[in-house]
Amino acid sequence: MKTISITELKTQQATATLIHVLPEEHFECEHLPGAINACVYETIFVSKVAELVPDKTTPLIVYGAGGDSLDATTAAEKLAKVGYTNVTVFPGGIAEWRQHHLPLEGTHAEAGAATPQGHYELDTETSIVRWTGRNLFNHHQGTLKLSSGHIEVENGVLQSARFTLDMNSIACEDLVDTAYNAMLIRHLRDDDFFAVDRFPAAEFICDRAEPLQSCTPGTPNYTLHGSMTLRGVTQPLSFPAVIAAADADHLTGQAQFELDRTQFGSHYGSGRLFAFLGKHVVNDNVHLHLKVQAKR
């Protein structure tokens, strides 16, 4: 893969097509003079370049953020794979160009979301819990709705959160036979599992959010510490989560973790508590995937 230095780029950019491979909002904010935009993160990247530069022998110089970001090299690989024969990478990208105080085009406004702040109420229509229960031979999966909740943020840092789960909303998605599906839901609602008649709500209260320093976008950036109340039993619970702001008024979060149901009195089929279960064994842990959206 050919690369070009910043000195060479300054002398050659007039004779090549310069492609900014970051998203449109970053291109509008700032880009190298004369560059065109095709975002390498989009599935239409190759077709977009083909539309902008149909001649595959045209000299192309691709650049992105610079540093350790793989955007420009990935773009060059994709273009070479579909037959572009003269593709060069400027590995320094926007970062090196800016460091040399060279001119940039664009609005020069900062790209990105504003800092979240204050009280955010849970959006119960778009927030959901997905569960998976297993045994040695099978598994079932479904959903559980959240009935209320809120998140508190101070200067962009998560402080606390509280979520209430509607246990009556438990549903199974994998059993297509309606009779078996209804039988499983009755089983999950009875005293063997979650005793929904007596305990129609479960609740997680996060009283401390620990920021994770070595995270990258898309990986957990907090560990949430708090307590879970299920079947009227409260136990400490901590798990990693991704919390991000779409903009100043909207937060989104996701977390995946295992919850030991036996700690809350759900003993049915536990190999730790019963002998000779055979095919009736049910895993102690239930896998939960929590997706929350909240708005200010």
CA angle 210, 70, 13 (to 5 degrees): 135
Question: Whose CA is closest to 228, among 196, 206, 255, 199?
Answer: 206
CATH superfamily of the domain spanning 118-295: Lipid/polyisoprenoid-binding, YceI-like (2.40.128.110)
The H-or-E segment that residue 167 falls in is strand 157-172
Q: Which H or E run contains 7? A: helix 6-12
Residues in contact with 28: Cβ distance below 8 Å, sequence separation at least 6, in sequence order: 106, 107, 111
Confidence of residue 113 (pLDDT cuts 50, 70, 90): low
In this structure, are residues 137 and 175 in contact, taking their beta carbons and an 8 Å threshold?
no
CB contact at 8 A, 17 and 58: yes
Q: What is the pLDDT of residues 250-286, one digit of tens each?
A: 999 999 999 999 999 999 999 999 999 998 999 999 9
Fold of 2-99: Oxidized Rhodanese; domain 1 (3.40.250)
- The answer, yes or no, to whether residue 79 has pLDDT greater than 90, is yes
Beta pairing class for 128-134 and 285-295: antiparallel
60 strand-pairing partners:
17, 87
Predicted TM-score (pTM) of the model is: 0.82
Rounded Cα distance between 257 and 73, Å, is 35
Tens of pLDDT, residues 205-243: 999 999 999 899 889 999 999 999 999 999 999 999 999
Q: Quick one: pLDDT band at residue 125, thresholds 50, 70, 90?
A: very high
Within 8 A by CB and 6+ apart from 27, the residues are 20, 35, 37, 106
Least confident segment among 14-18, 36-40, 87-91, 135-139: 135-139
Q: Return the CA Rg of the chain.
A: 26
What mean pLDDT value characterizes the chain? Answer: 95
pLDDT band with cut points at 50, 70 and 90 for residue 114: low
Distance CA 255, CA 290 (A): 5
Q: What's the N-to-C CA distance of the chain in angstroms?
A: 48
State the sign of the Cα–Cα–Cα–Cα dihedral 204, 214, 117, 250.
negative
Average of pLDDT values for 191-208?
A: 97
pLDDT in tens, 12-66: 888 999 999 999 999 999 999 999 999 999 999 999 999 999 999 999 999 999 9
Tokens matching residue 123 = 């959006």
Look at strands 60-63 and 87-89 and give their pairing: parallel
| Band of residue 99 on the pLDDT scale cut at 50, 70, 90 | very high
pLDDT higher than threshold 60 for residue 110: no
CA–CA distance, 259 with 46 (Å, rounded to integer): 44
pLDDT of residue 28: 95
Rounded to 10°, the helix 45-52/71-81 angle is 70
Mean pLDDT along residues 124-143: 95
Distance between CA atoms of residues 227 and 26, nearest Å: 41
Longest dimension (CA), the chain: 78
Q: How far is 198 from 232, CA to CA, in rounded Å?
A: 9
Contacts of 180 (CB under 8 A, 6+ apart): none
Tokens of 4: 């070009």
